[in-house]
């Protein structure tokens, strides 16, 4: 009979799922094929799309902290849901002791987590040390697994081959020897987004240097992508807007690129994990550098740390 193992990752974003992809892969490899892996995460993380065909998950349970699992009654609904799954082991990649307590109340025997608050009384040591709490969530989770002799590798995110072939054909990437660069304009909050006219100015400079340029966003960035294309064309340049891809198609598209320049968003994390040379523009958010191919760019001198204080010349200097 297969062992049932639960992994709890409650951070809400697609980028958060990508952050923890290597940890999920490490746990999957550690337990092997004789284990049924279940992931508890929020619907907004889109783990079902991000991890499809990459991590062999038996089931994804939806964590709803806004409604179903909110408050006292929500806690017990969460316990009931977990108990129904008859899970034996749980790994909690988050600091809240609430999840450890929920696992314990659900009858889960082996609970591994950070050891915050009362969580340590129902979990198995070793726990994080005092200094570990200052680490970024990626490193924090990696440290926990390392303490339990589970090694997290710099796993590469490998897109579906057929989708990569499709992207190469759709965007004519075999028809030119120009080096492809993509500008990532997405962002979950406005303060994370570099101004469109800066992207356009950067694109004009890159076009003059002979690069094959693309601007990538989601459906909600269609207007912005077309605006950047228009501004570049007005200056005699060209850039191809891309805004209608599924997540797996976007991963495949990114794997065709040599350089990514863009905002702190899921596509930045995807490009990093795929192995693209990635230049991230950061201001108020933590400047990520968790892989050697991820290069953060932040305001040189700033009191407010506004993203518009990162200049085009500054980005070009980092690129070249």
pLDDT tens readout for residues 50-104: 998 889 999 999 999 999 999 999 999 999 999 999 999 999 999 999 999 999 9
Task: Kindly state whether residues 304 and 260 are assigned to the same domain.
Answer: yes
pLDDT digits (tens, 9 = 90+) for 170-190: 999 999 999 999 999 998 888
- Residues pairing with 242 in the sheet: 216
pTM, full prediction? 0.93
Q: What is the pLDDT of residue 303?
A: 64
Rounded Cα–Cα distance for residues 295 and 278 (Å): 6
Residue 156 counted as domain residue: no
pLDDT digits (tens, 9 = 90+) for 100-152: 999 999 999 999 999 999 999 999 999 999 999 999 999 999 999 999 999 99
How many alpha carbons lie under 13 Å from residue 41 in its C-beta half-sphere? 30
Q: Would you say residue 296 has pLDDT above 80?
A: yes
Task: Kindly state whether residues 15 and 118 are assigned to the same domain.
Answer: yes
% of the chain with per-residue pLDDT over 70: 99
Residue 50 counted as domain residue: yes
Instruction: Take residue 313 and report the two structure tokens written for it.
Output: 């010349």
Which residue range forms the structural domain that includes residue 295? 161-319
DSSP letter at 189 equals: S
DSSP letter at 272 equals: H
Last residue of a domain, one of 83, 117, 147: 147
Selection from 250, 244, 265, 246 nearest residue 193 by Cα: 265
Task: Kindly state whether residues 51 and 134 are assigned to the same domain.
Answer: yes
Contact assessment for residue 94 and residue 9, using Cβ atoms and an 8 Å cutoff:
yes
Rounded Cα–Cα distance for residues 266 and 148 (Å): 29
Q: What is the pLDDT of residue 302?
A: 65
Please, which pLDDT band fits residue 305 given cuts at 50, 70 and 90? confident
pLDDT digits (tens, 9 = 90+) for 217-254: 999 999 999 999 999 999 999 999 999 999 999 999 99
Last residue of a domain, one of 114, 147, 180: 147
Residue 155 counted as domain residue: no
Task: Kindly state whether residues 182 and 137 are assigned to the same domain.
Answer: no
Rg, the chain, Cα only? 21
């Amino acid at each position: 009979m297969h062992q049932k193992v639960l992994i709890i990752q409650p951070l809400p974003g697609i980028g958060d799922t990508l952050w923890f992809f290597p940890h999920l892969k490490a746990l999957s490899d550690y337990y092997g094929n004789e284990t049924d892996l279940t992931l508890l995460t929020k619907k907004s993380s889109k783990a079902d799309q991000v991890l499809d065909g990459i991590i062999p998950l038996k089931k994804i349970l939806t964590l709803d902290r806004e409604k179903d699992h909110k408050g006292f009654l929500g806690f017990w609904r969460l316990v009931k849901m977990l108990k129904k799954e008859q899970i034996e082991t749980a790994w909690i990649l988050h600091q809240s002791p609430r999840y450890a307590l929920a696992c314990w109340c659900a009858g889960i025997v082996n609970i591994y987590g950070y050891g915050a608050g009362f969580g340590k009384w129902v979990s198995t040591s070793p726990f994080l040390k005092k200094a570990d709490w200052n680490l970024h969530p990626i490193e924090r989770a990696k440290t926990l697994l390392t303490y339990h002799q589970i090694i997290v590798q710099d796993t590469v995110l490998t897109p579906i081959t057929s989708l990569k072939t499709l992207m190469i054909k759709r965007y004519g990437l075999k028809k030119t020897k120009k080096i492809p660069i993509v500008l990532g304009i997405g962002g979950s909050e406005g303060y994370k987004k570099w101004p469109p006219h800066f992207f356009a100015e950067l694109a004009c400079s890159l076009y003059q240097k002979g690069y094959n340029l693309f601007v990538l966003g989601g459906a909600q960035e269609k207007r912005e992508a077309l605006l950047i294309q228009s501004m570049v064309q007005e200056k005699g340049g060209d850039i191809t807007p891309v805004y209608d891809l599924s997540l797996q198609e976007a991963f495949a598209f990114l794997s065709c690129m040599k350089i990514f320049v863009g905002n702190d968003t899921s596509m930045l994390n995807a490009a990093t994990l795929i192995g693209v040379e990635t230049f991230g523009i950061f201001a108020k958010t933590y400047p990520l550098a968790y892989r050697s191919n991820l290069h953060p760019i932040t305001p040189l001198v700033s009191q407010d740390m506004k993203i518009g204080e990162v200049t085009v010349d500054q980005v070009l200097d980092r690129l070249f």
